[in-house]
Amino acid sequence: MSERDGYAPGVPCWVDTWRADPEAAAAFYEGLFGWRVEELSLPWGPGKVLICRLRGRDVAAIAAQPPDAPPPAWNTHICVASADDAAADAERAGGRVVVEPFDNFDTGRMAVLADPEGAVFCVWQARELRGAELVNEPGAWSMSALNTRAPERAKAFYGAVFGWEADAFDLGGLEVTLLRLPGYVGGEPEQPVPRDVIATMAPIGGEQPEDVPAHWSVDFWVGDIDATVAKAGEFGGRVIVPPYEIPGTPLRQAVLADSDGAAFSVSRVTVGD
C-alpha cells in the first residue's frame, strides 16, 4: 500500500520547499499533480506553511522562504530518533550543521545539515507530523536521489550517520548506486528494486555543467509522463530533460523545473503498458 503512518529512523520521510511566494508555487503543483493545499495554523509570524494533500493525505509542504535562503529547491527530510544526535553524528562524519536543531512547534524537531561535499538535507524527529502519508502513486513523492562527485565519500558519510549500505550497478554506462537500510521493508511489493532501498545516488558529470554542486533531488510518480510535461509548460514550468526510458528498468522519466525554477523529476512505471 502507498499509505504511510510513520517511518523508521534512517528512512527519507518528507519533502518540502521554501518559496518567496508560497501560494504561486502551490498553484503550480495543484495544477500539475492535483494537490489540495491548506495553510497550517501555526504561530509562524509573517511566514506561511502550506500543507499539500492528495486524497486527503499529507504529501509535501510549501513554506515561506526565510531571509538569505538559497535559490528555490526541493528538500529531503530523513527520519531520525533525535535531531540533536543526528547533527552531532553528521559533524563527526565530516559534514556540517547548516541550521542547528530546533523545535518546529508541535510538528517535530529538525536540523538542516550538509554532507562533506555540500549536499544539503534535513533530519526530522517526528511529533505530530510523521512524514508523507501517501507515496509511490501518481501525484506523490516516490524517491529522493543524491547527486555527487564523490560517491565513495558519500557512502562513508551516510553509512556513519544513518547506517546506509550501498550497491552500485551499471545503468547504460552510468554507475548508479542503490542506498539501502538493511532490515527495512518499504516501497511496494511490485517495485523493481529491493524493498530496503531508501534512496539512490548518481555521479555528477557527463553533459552536466561543471558548476553543478552536490545536491539532493526529488522524484514524483505520474500517470502519464507526456501529459505531465505538457501540463508543466501550461502552468509556467519548463522541461530540463525530455522524457526518456531508463535503460534496464521499467521506468520512464523526465526532469522539469517549476514556475520558480526549482528542478524535480517525474517517473512512470511502464510495466503493463
24-47 pLDDT, tens digit per residue, is 999 999 999 999 999 986 555 556
Q: Which of 1.10.274.100, 3.10.180.10, 3.90.1150.10, 3.30.70.890 is the CATH number of 141-269?
A: 3.10.180.10
Number of other residues whose CB lies within 10 A of the CB of residue 116: 17
Topology match between the domains 12-126 and 141-269:
yes
pLDDT single digits (tens) 96-127? 999 999 998 888 999 999 999 999 999 999 99
Question: What per-residue confidence (pLDDT) applies to 194?
Answer: 78
Please, which residues have CB within 8 angstroms of residue 176's CB and are 6 or more apart in sequence? 168, 169, 170, 200, 201, 202
Q: Where are the domains of the chain?
A: 12-126, 141-269
CATH number of 12-126: 3.10.180.10
Which pTM does this prediction carry? Answer: 0.94
Question: What per-residue confidence (pLDDT) applies to 212?
Answer: 87
**SS3 state of residue 76:** strand
**Any idea which residue has 509511490 for its cell?**
136
Q: What is the DSSP string of 54-77?
A: ETTEEEEEEEEPPTTPPSP-EEEE
Question: What per-residue confidence (pLDDT) applies to 170?
Answer: 74
**Any idea which residue has 501560494 for its cell?**
23
